Amino acid sequence: MCRCNDSSCLPNGDCKQNVSCIFDFFGLQCQYKDLIHSANVSQEKVKYRHLTPCLHNFTAKTPLTITFPRPTRISWIQIEAVSKDNLQGLKLRFSQTRNQSCYTGHCRHRREFYLNTNTLRIMCSAAQYVCHISIAFNAPEEERELCSIYISAGRNLALGQPVGMSSYYRDKLGIVSRRSLAVDGRLGDSWKSCSTTRLQDKDPLLRLSFLNPVLVEEIIIYFKVTVKNERFSINLLDSTDNVIYSSTGVIESIVSIIPSSQISLQTIDVFKQHSTSPLSICELEVYGECAPPMYGPDCSEICSISCNDQSCTYEGYCKWCPNGTAGPYCFEGCLEWCEDYQEVTNATTTPRVTHVAYHKQSGFRVENVWLYVMILIAIVGICSVFICTGPSRDVEKVPSEPKTYQQDFYQHYLLTKESEKTMFSETDNQTSTSVDVTDALNTLEIVTPSMTTTNA
């Protein structure tokens, strides 16, 4: 679903140039729901939004307070400032409000990293509802120039996913209720905007399925109430249709369910048993992320192995980092278990960790698998060339030493004498061998001096 103004989205989901997200949404492809617009804040300027970040900044009056109209679960907080210096020493604290029971205390297991030079994201492992947030600084006398604050509810995974129903309501005009109305992203309480079963269906059910396993943090159901104090049930199923979590409750206009722990599931069943009224769901929202190690719009990308449990957000940022590492992808800081490493405290921002120089990640990384394949192919190709061709097998002929003039002359002389011997063997009684050799040697002694003189 396109969440850009005027439905001006590119094919990949990004907003077109100079187009912002619709109201109440922000982030990559406008995927995150912003809770701050419905909250009461101590300075209204924190709600300011513009295409150009920090076009208008304001001086923060500490503590900045944010109060929600009802208990709310948050995923993370994002703060934009003029510079990093304005975000140092930042403290977060959660507290209760009158007549509401919520989490009280600091941001537990706090993780923070900079998305750019002036945007800080803070994540807390708070699997509970919060009512009130207080933002302060270690040095309150120093002026802090901030630009905006975002409170993320997370990403609605249910939007546009496959839905099935046990039956379909038909009104007097013959219009049949559609199952897709429960996941179209539009809130309303009329029959025409809700997925509704038939009145005669005594065990009505609505089933939401995901193409890939997802990790759920919260489920919000917007019911159309027809009978007061009527109960419903919900089952969460894994990829093999085994029930891994179940709950029951009273049907109200808005029902929020936070599982006791983050659960990887693939199917959600909402149903009633032995009912005398139809099941009518106007919107079903499921907040969470893809089940590790996947991320992305279709849960088809693989998280970096540098992330704890290979668990990351929609953008691919690590949810948690191993000790000694920091940054969006846990690449910053020491990559070993350093003895002198001190974990970021729950109370304040620690500049030592957020400003550590970048260290290149070592070891195998899933993101570079194609690079590794190409290198392997190149190595195999080079080795094949050497093995097939090898060094030249032609043995170079060593040129023979040139014969001396004396040797040539001597061989010619012997051939001549041999011919003469054959022709005159009957008349020649003298042993030719000794005579021939003696003559040849004498001849050599005569010819050699003249040749030496010529060469000189």
445 in any annotated domain: no
93 in any annotated domain: yes
Please report the pLDDT score of residue 370 as a whole number.
59
66 torsion bin: left (phi>0), alpha (psi -120 to 50), beta (else): beta
The segments of the chain whose pLDDT lies below 50 read 335, 337-367, 392-406, 409-410, 413, 420-456
Are 68 and 124 in the same domain? yes
6 in any annotated domain: no
Q: Count of domains in the chain?
A: 3
Neighbours of 423 (CB within 10 A): 10
* 52, 401, 450 from 55: Cα distances, Å: 6, 91, 106
Quick check: helix, strand or coil at residue 342? Answer: coil
Query: How is 7-23 classified by DSSP, letter by letter?
Result: G-B-TTSPBPTT--BPT
Are 235 and 194 in the same domain? yes
Neighbours of 398 (CB within 10 A): 6
Are 281 and 308 in the same domain? no
What tens digit of pLDDT does each residue of 342-391 get? Answer: 343 334 444 433 333 333 333 344 445 556 667 778 787 777 766 655 55
237 in any annotated domain: yes
What tens digit of pLDDT does each residue of 42-81 get? Answer: 999 999 888 888 888 999 988 999 999 999 999 999 999 9
Are 194 and 277 in the same domain? yes
Query: How is 359-428 classified by DSSP, letter by letter?
Result: ----S--GGGHHHHHHHHHHHHHHHHHHHHH-S--PPPPPPPPPPPHHHHHHHHHHHHHHHHHHHHTTT-
Range of the domain at 204: 180-290
